[in-house]
Chain A
């Protein structure tokens, strides 16, 4: 079945460490997105990519980095510069300019300890 796989489901990080969240899709979608979900704030866009080897900052990119070396993969690194990294992170994908909405992964809950 086609879909988006995020791993791990739960992740614990010590302060000062970088961690990388995985997102893989086999939907042949061009565009991929990373969102952060916090209670009462909805979904906030961190980074997005519409084509391999290119990505754009979203609304809250500071303290995060991404890469898009393959169409299927869009890993997100939460760096030590991110002041408040504890959150639920969602990856999504879509066809560019389809207007057809996004398909979401099941998310990764990151906790800084």
Chain B
């Protein structure tokens, strides 16, 4: 079955630390890849997405993600986090077989000021 795994359920960092959130998916075909973010009390927003081309994708608020096809991974990174990055982050995949989003379980990120 197609699935998405996010490695950490909770991550706690200090401000200015570097961030990497892991995401792996299980599907051998073509995929579109997404990271969504949900800030406290707000709705889910698209952070960045990858469809094709340069595997290093830049999103909003200084986030980026790298698609490594051989590893079935799409890890999210940010060189220096801020307190305002405290949120829950979801990785999601649309396989070309069914065009529906398959979600990871989410990672709660807490940034200590």
Q: Chain A residues in contact with chain B, CB under 8 A?
A: 40-43, 48, 90, 92, 96-102, 104-107
Contacts and interface: CB of A to CB of B under 8 A. Distances in A.
Interface residues of chain B: helix, strand, loop or mixed (majority): loop
A54 B99 CA distance: 17
B32 A48 contact: no
Interface residues of B, number: 22
Contacts, number: 42
A40 B9 contact: yes
B46 interface: yes
A81 to B, nearest CB: 25
B42 A42 contact: no
A96 B92 CA distance: 17
B20 interface: no
A98 B105 CA distance: 23
